[in-house]
Amino acid sequence: MTVFIDTAVVMYAGGAEHPMRDPCQRILARVADGELEAVTSVEVIQEILHRFSAIRRPDIGVSMARDTLDLFAPVLPVTHAVMRRMPELIEAHPALSARDLVHVATCLQEGIHDIVSPDRGFDGVPGIRRIDPAASARSLGVAASGVSETARRSGDKRPEPRSHR
């Protein structure tokens, strides 16, 4: 199963102390270990850079964007076919932001049905199943310690992704 990693997962994992930080770090550690097949898109990179530029912390945004690009290389593009899905999605889901709908359109175009995100807005979108990072660490095979079950059995104790605070 391939999952799409939403911007919020990356931001929480690399951010300040928060209840979502540890679950998101565990998920990204699992991606880094090759134990969770995951993708993200150029829109996620844009959101990271936009957010940190807006709060006048471009240094954090650049570092987080580079790490995300490295972890998910190659990131999925936002293509013409993806954008052709947008008008219908916006009409059907006016409560969701255009940015979130770009993620939905990307997933639908790529045949991905699972989005890892704390954002409940994805819950009502047909064809998409939202996986909550906090509730799903176990269902994705991530142990509470941050070490995957496979890594734990093999004795591998790699560190979690670094913070960008």
pLDDT digits (tens, 9 = 90+) for 27-36: 999 999 999 9
Q: Are 6 and 128 in contact (CB under 8 A)?
A: no
pLDDT band at 140 (very low <50, low <70, confident <90, very high): low
What pLDDT score was predicted for residue 58? 97
CA angle 123, 119, 13 (to 5 degrees): 140
What pLDDT score was predicted for residue 158? 34
| For residue 107, pLDDT beyond 60 | yes
Secondary structure (3-state) at 161: coil
- Cis before 133 (ω within 30): no
pLDDT band at 157 (very low <50, low <70, confident <90, very high): very low
Comparing 60-64, 89-93, 134-138, which segment has the lowest mean pLDDT? 134-138
Roughly what angle, to the nearest 10 degrees, separates helices 7-14 and 42-54? 50
Task: Output DSSP code: residue 160.
Answer: P
What is the CATH class of 3-136? alpha beta
Beta bridge partners of 3: 38, 114
Domain segments of the chain as ranges: 3-136
What pLDDT score was predicted for residue 135? 87
Rounded to whole angstroms, how far apart are CA atoms 153 and 128? Answer: 32
What pLDDT score was predicted for residue 86? 98
- The pTM for the full model equals 0.84
Rounded to whole angstroms, how far apart are CA atoms 59 and 46? Answer: 14
